[in-house]
Amino acid sequence: MPLLQFDTTLTLDSARKESFADFVRETYAERMRTGTSHVAVTVREHDDAALSIGRGVEGDCLFLDAEVRRGRDDETKRDFALAVMEHVHEEYGVPTPNLKVVFTEHRGPSMMGYERVGGAWSPEEGGE
């Protein structure tokens, strides 16, 4: 039951936010070997002064705080992070030094929706 929280200086209309969220959900499901129905995405826009990164360059910024269930290896997480960063760079022109992804991993039961509590994840499980 991941929560993928984006903070950005980009200005996106509703249609572009929906398209971006769809891309993120599909990419997460593909790379992390799961479904899409439980993947939550937030996009929070900020003014230019609100986000910065020490090695950044002039241009927009986008940071992803990825709250995910434990179990995926570092290579799998890196693959997802790069896919998102490459998409943001190519689609929206955000300079690569201004992109950041941080993963925080949780035990399955720490992630819950109204109708269920998450369980352990394993590569054999697939699904949600």
pLDDT in tens, 33-54: 999 989 999 999 999 999 999 9
Q: Which domains does the chain have, with CATH numbers?
A: 3-110 (3.30.429.10)
What local confidence, expressed as pLDDT, does residue 116 receive? 79
pTM value > 0.95: no
Cα(51)–Cα(95) distance, integer angstroms: 14
- State the Cα angle at 92 between 81 and 65, rounded to 5°: 35
Neighbours of 18 (CB within 10 A): 13
For 28, the 3-state DSSP assignment is helix
